[in-house]
Chain A
């Protein structure tokens, strides 16, 4: 009896002693994240679709990164210097180790650059880095040489992950993809194909360590199931939910909805070589007829922001002085009534299943209410891409699109959509081409900004394209998880925290 009492007292004292520790917010725990699909790859030099990027970006460090405010800051490079218009010197961080214990060397940075720019390697990201023609290392400095001035290089280096040369060379690309080794805040642990990828905290990380022991990224394709998992407590964070699900979650105090505007811009492209939109007044009428606020606040409701230029506040090159487009159906009707023959010309609005058809149908309805004769042409994605990239004669009169370059630089959106050399562009205007070339090649930020200001103003004044809104992304999380969504849709585990 005495012994039992003694034992109980010792256990109670032990429990009391431990209680404060258990109540602290630094309890180690795991996090389960529901993604909208399985990561396609763990090799950061292959695919860069969001589901892969969410995961492998935690395994690897990049040359540069963006902080939560979207500013470019160093990661593997601690500082950088543009030594000429086409050469950039990067000072490489010392004391960084890969997850296998080997030190990350400048030669790994050179290897990573050469690997992703090697045409035979066949990276889907080649187009983002193919301006880099050489990379070399001397001491702890890596020099990148570009084919001429390339001001968007810094924005692209934010996406360049450093892979260990000694591992890739030893095991080959396939084995590296199956079991990647990086230097990031989390190390690869297990890939249960079709089910989940598990990462474990890198206890030797040089920077801010992650708050979770393990992170489990699951592939849950159905958004309703992701929301159910969150409500059932089997997931801590779920991605890509819609506004209906967000409304459903708002009544549950155990969870919360997080939203952030992204760098994706939705727009309506117009065929400037075919009636009715080869006429500026018709383009103006179309713009007046579209209720952008109705679309963002009535249909989407996720925090989207109406835009009047082909860029967003998340991009370098955004012009805050561009006046918003106004919605004035009566004024649109006056214009179409005055040009009745032109307005009634049949126009096709090309779309594909991947786009939100609520928006496409709303736009069709708004244009037809104003007196246009618009019909929707829904095709599979390859056919849609074939149509919108074809010559003006074969191209549709209208098309809906959402553009992201993942670079947060206006060059990545304005150039492909407006420069005559791009097969996406409906415009063939030497003045705009020249401005876009200047912005693409000048290393002077003021010169670049001035060029984009002018481009955006010309597009706004002449309705060459109809920007619609800056898209937003919605996440659901448990109420105790602190996570700040960013415009580039990254998900850094070591920037999250838990409050109990």
Chain B
């Protein structure tokens, strides 16, 4: 187990180093951000002065070493646009995004898993095809469209829910559904195929022959043994939720990392954009690491294949 953890941990660290390096160089080769921070009327002297203030006048290698040092100390830098430390800005937004991601996961799991199970149990019947149609519709709707439609219906016409913003549980409902719809479809389809796979196995036939009831079969056998692909997809869905949050948070003016990203791009605040990209990459890497560890707990055979 220790060897397994060390190997996966090592791989994660290499991936982190690669991401940090890529983010640094991609930001630098796509252009000089200094001109974007100044008014159009800024002279070349103004631009040079700003480059010196930001430390962009130093050799690229020196900047890179400095950047690595800052990363090692978890120093994300300072936003020149917002006049605040990037850490402070990011930390203030993380709870909002976590709240939204949790809401979306609840929507996806509470609706997606039962729908997937129902589709598997009614495979080949009309109801299964009907549910699959709904699931595909959920997956096909672009979030910016479904979000705006919900605002129009529930915020403007019916006035049941606040059209945007944050602060109460009612503010969370529409953004969670909009973001959760995509994951809901994924969970439903993965659950369906995993359960269908399991249902064809000998132990299920034996259980059925022994007269085990459907409820016990589902809770004790089918769902438990279908967990691996669901855990796996949860790791991937976390990064999907972060990506989807960019649109959902923008549409609903939800003050999380997604909206911060959009606002920082609009305000040309490249230090913040860089930090959000790094954070997203770290979350993806460590979610996958956590999924690997969970596999090994749920299915010990995984460790043997190291």
Contact = CB atoms under 8 A, between A and B. Distances in A.
A220 B249 CA distance: 10
B96 interface: yes
Contacts of B155: 228, 232
Interface string A35-47: 0011011010011
Interface string B249-291: 0111101100110110011110000000000000000000000
B163 interface: yes
A382 B262 contact: no
Interface in A408-436: 412, 416, 422-424
21 contacts: A46-B83, A48-B39, A122-B49, A124-B38, A126-B46, A127-B41, A174-B84, A221-B263, A221-B266, A224-B151, A225-B148, A225-B163, A225-B251, A225-B252, A232-B156, A382-B36, A385-B35, A385-B36, A405-B40, A405-B41, A416-B40
A402 B39 CA distance: 13
Given A219-B253, A382-B30, A234 B36 contact: no
A405 B40 CA distance: 8
A232 B148 CA distance: 13
Which 5 pairs of residues, A with B, have the shortest CB-CB distance?
A382-B31, A194-B255, A220-B253, A232-B163, A193-B92
Contacts of B92: 193-194
A125 B49 contact: no
Given A193-B92, A232-B162, 14 more contacts: A40-B267, A127-B38, A127-B39, A127-B43, A128-B41, A174-B84, A178-B84, A194-B260, A225-B163, A228-B148, A228-B151, A382-B36, A386-B35, A422-B43
Nearest to B78: A174
Contacts of B267: 37, 40, 49
Contact of A122 (B32, B50, B144): B50
B81 interface: yes
Interface of B: 30-33, 35-44, 46, 49-50, 53, 80-84, 89, 92-93, 96, 144, 148, 151-152, 155-156, 159, 162-167, 250-253, 255-256, 259-260, 262-263, 266-269
A21 to B, nearest CB: 29
A325 B250 CA distance: 41
A222 interface: yes
Contacts of B166: 195
Interface of A: 37-38, 40-41, 43, 46-49, 119, 122, 124-128, 173-174, 177-178, 192-195, 218-222, 224-225, 228-229, 231-234, 380-383, 385-386, 389, 403-406, 412, 416, 422-424
B253 A218 contact: yes
A194 to B, nearest CB: 3
A41 B40 contact: no
A222 B147 CA distance: 11
A48 B162 CA distance: 31
Contact of A177 (B84, B93, B260): B84
Nearest to B91: A193
B41 A219 contact: no
A221 B253 CA distance: 6
A172 to B, nearest CB: 11
B165 A381 contact: no
A41 B81 contact: yes
A424 B40 contact: yes
A382 B33 contact: yes
B164 A40 contact: no
Contacts of B49: 119, 122, 126
Contacts of A127: 38-39, 41-43, 46
Nearest to B267: A40
A41 B83 contact: yes
A379 B268 CA distance: 15
A229 B44 contact: no
Nearest to B164: A225
B40 A382 contact: no
A234 B162 contact: yes
A222 B143 CA distance: 13
